[in-house]
Amino acid sequence: MKVTEHIKQAKGKTLFSFELIPPIKGKSIQELYDNIDSLMEFKPPFIDVTTSREEYVYIDKGGLLEKKVTRMRPGTVGICSSIQHKYHVDTVPHLLCGGFTKEETEYVLVDCHYLGIDNVMALRGDSIKEERYFTPTEGGHCYAKELVEQIRNLSHGQYLHETITSDDYPDFCIGVAGYPEKHLEAPSLQTDLKRLKEKVDAGADYVVTQMFFDNQKYFEFVEAAKNLGINVPIIPGIKPVAVKRHLQLLPQVFRIDIPQDLIDAVENCKNNKEVRQIGVEWAIQQSKELKAAGVPVLHYYSMGKSDNIKAIAKEVF
Ligand code: FAD
């Protein structure tokens, strides 16, 4: 079922959802299942599975290093399908512009349709680790909006190279990313919001936000989006701080602010176990306020570990 249908059926009740990262190539999927198992009591109607960008690796060829490109965490669509089969919940595979040609994207979408996956998250993707800026893949899309257009075209039978008349069009519910503190490359929040509006106008059905630690930023973002005519659900993304290093890392990577009270609390911690507890408490307060404000879903970035998300969900749902 579509994410937007779940939201409609909830009739104003806030839903719980989370996102998972595929295991590193060669590792068992069991740890991922263990994380899902411990969160199922909160009845997530859908679970997101991220897609990672490819990376450069250097293979030793008798003293000469050969540069190769590989994806360290493949398997997004397979994992989505296995979750749907095992847990009977909907899944949302993340699709990226970066690293995929338009043809490869079309094949992934066909796979999703055959596997009974009704939702996809359309994203540009970050730059490859070794590159400073995002470089579009040859034959791929430059911006998430173009990916949304490709996905939406399928619901009219419009494939890349042919238009097909059918009684079985892939009609995906499409999510896109939104940034309450603006995307790091955008020249201003207003410009970034205009880009978000373009994604919605191209056919996106809902928005999931980048993490934020100050709810006011989310409320202002939703208000500004509404003023621009963005009328789809805007789902807040919540990430509990887990280690002291997050104080530097999160602002550096995502260009987000961390409130002074949270910084002070984390800095006063003696170890990362205490930081994890502070992160949980902060996220509980954030979640409770957002729920009271009637957000459609609270979406948690689990980063592959569920203990802190479980502690939060226990207090909120
Ligand atoms: P876009 O919407 O394409 O925007 C990218 C930038 O380009 C923005 O600054 C925007 O303002 C600007 N822009 C858009 N259109 C134009 C235009 N026509 N001309 C000029 N500028 C323009 N990354 C992953 O690699 N894997 C994941 O699974 C993943 N999941 C995510 C989930 C969520 C909820 C969020 C919020 C982010 C996720 N990301 C993921 C990160 C995301 O890929 C990055 O933030 C990326 O840098 C931007 O993606 P986007 O889809 O927002 O891009």
Inter-axis angle of helices 102-114 and 144-154, nearest 10: 50
What residues are paired with 20 via a beta bridge? 49
CB atoms within 10 A of CB 122: 29
Higher local confidence (pLDDT), 17 or 302: 17
% residues pLDDT > 70 (the chain): 100
List C-alpha distances in Å: 95 to 14, 43, 105, 174.
26, 24, 8, 10
Ligand 1 pocket, CB under 6 A:
50-51, 53, 94, 96, 123-126, 143-145, 177, 183, 185-186, 192, 195, 199, 208, 210, 237
The residue whose two tokens read 């779940």 is 6
Using pLDDT thresholds of 50, 70 and 90, give the confidence band for residue 286.
Answer: very high
Distance 59 CA to ligand 1 centre (A): 31
Alpha carbon of residue 278 to chain centroid: 24
Among the four given CATH numbers 1.25.40.80, 3.20.20.220, 3.40.50.9100, 3.40.50.1220, the one describing domain 3-316 = 3.20.20.220
Report the predicted TM-score, pTM, of the whole model to 2 decimal places.
Answer: 0.97
- For the purposes of burial, counting CB atoms within 10 Å of the CB of 11, is it exposed (0-12), middle (13-18) or buried (19 or more)? exposed
Residue of the CA atom closest to atom 47 of ligand 1: 126
pLDDT at 147: 98
Q: What's the CA-to-centroid distance between 300 and ligand 1, angstroms?
A: 18
Please list, in sequence order, all residues whose beta carbon lies within 8 angstroms of the beta carbon of residue 184, skipping any fewer than 6 positions away: 254, 255
The pLDDT assigned to 305 comes to 86
Is the pLDDT assigned to residue 129 strictly greater than 90?
A: no
Q: pLDDT per residue over 136-169, tens digit each?
A: 999 999 999 999 999 999 999 999 999 999 889 9
d(CA 66, CA 28): 28
State pLDDT tens for residues 35-93.
Answer: 999 999 999 999 999 999 999 889 888 888 999 989 999 999 999 999 999 999 999 99
CA 190 to ligand 1 center in whole angstroms: 15
Active site residues: 19
CA distance 232 to 28: 37
Could you read off the pLDDT of 87-128 as tens digits, one per residue? Answer: 999 999 999 999 999 999 999 999 999 999 999 999 999 999
Q: What is the structure's pLDDT at 223? A: 98
Q: Tell me the one-letter amino acid at 7.
A: I
